[in-house]
Structure 1
Amino acid sequence: MTAAASASIAAAKAVWDDIASTRSVSDDHLSILHFLFGKNFERATRIVDQGGVRKLCGTPSGRSLFLVIGESRRKEEYICVPENCCTCYSFFYDIVSRGEELCCKHQLAARLAEAAGAHSEVTVSDERLALLLSSI
């Protein structure tokens, strides 16, 4: 990872933490995140605004992942662990293969929704989480 990418990730983490501490998103937060992530962040905000983020919390472990709705007409749902991976095509193409982006719009939507408390939350069994993860 380049020094610039590391600095961007650190700056974004500070913004996510600030949003999470107040459960509100300021214009300054939006400006910084847009500067760091560009069009992917714009798309992520649309997903959050449309209620497209669900957090699945496993019981009894407390482990979690997100299901994030895509923007296509099919409204596909992607499995997303915001800090690590997403099952969308863009994650594998733009991030893993080409290294052109730091994260996809679904990861950003999940991070924003979690920090702002703008997601629905569903409790499922750990077995259900394992089944979802095994389908990746």
Structure 2
Amino acid sequence: MSVTAGVALAVADAVWAEIRSAGQASDEHLSILEALFGKNMVRACKILDEGGVRRVTGAPSGRSLFLVMGESRRKEEYICFPEHLCTCYSFFYDIVGRGEQLCCKHQLAARLAEAVSKHQDIEVTDEELAHMLAKL
């Protein structure tokens, strides 16, 4: 990771912490995140506004992942770990492959949804959660 990317992620982490603490994202927060993540942040907000983020939690472990809706006509749903991984094409192409982005719009939507508690919660058994992950 470059120094610039590291600084950007540190700034973003501080903003996410402020949003979580306040329970809402101010215009200033969103402006900073948009400056860091560009069009991906705008698209993430659209996904969140459309109710496209679900958190799936396994019981009894409490482990969780996010299912985030895509924007295409097919409305695919991507498995997402906000700080680490998304199953979308952009994550593997733009982030892992080319290193052009810090994260995808689905990761941003999941992080924002979690920070402001604007996601649908679904509880499944740990076995069901494992089956979801096995499809990766």
TM-score by length of 1: 0.99
Q: Which residue of 1 aligns with 2:37?
A: 37
Q: Which residue of 1 aligns with 2:121?
A: 121
Which consecutive residues of structure 1, in runs of 5 or more, have no partner in the other structure? none
Q: Which residue of 1 aligns with 2:53?
A: 53
Give the letter for the 1:36 counterpart. L
Q: Which residue of 1 aligns with 2:102?
A: 102
Q: Distance in 1 between matches of 2:125 and 2:13?
A: 29
Identity %: 64
Displacement of 1:130 after TM fit?
A: 0.7
Across the aligned residues of Structure 1 and Structure 2, the Cα RMSD in angstroms comes to 0.5
Q: Distance in 1 between matches of 2:13 and 2:120?
A: 22
Q: Structure 1 stretches (4+) deviating beyond 4 angstroms?
A: none
Which consecutive residues of structure 2, in runs of 5 or more, have no partner in the other structure? none
Q: Which residue of 1 aligns with 2:89?
A: 89
Q: Distance in 1 between matches of 2:130 and 2:102?
A: 26
Q: Which residue of 2 aligns with 1:17?
A: 17
TM-score by length of 2: 0.99
Q: Distance in 1 between matches of 2:57 and 2:22?
A: 22
Give the letter for the 2:132 counterpart. L
Q: Which residue of 2 aligns with 1:2?
A: 2
Displacement of 1:22 after TM fit?
A: 1.2
Displacement of 1:98 after TM fit?
A: 0.4
Q: Which residue of 2 aligns with 1:70?
A: 70
User: What secondary structure does 2:123 align onto?
Assistant: strand
Number of equivalenced pairs: 136
Q: Distance in 2 between matches of 1:45 and 1:70?
A: 12
Displacement of 1:94 after TM fit?
A: 0.2
Give the letter for the 2:133 counterpart. L
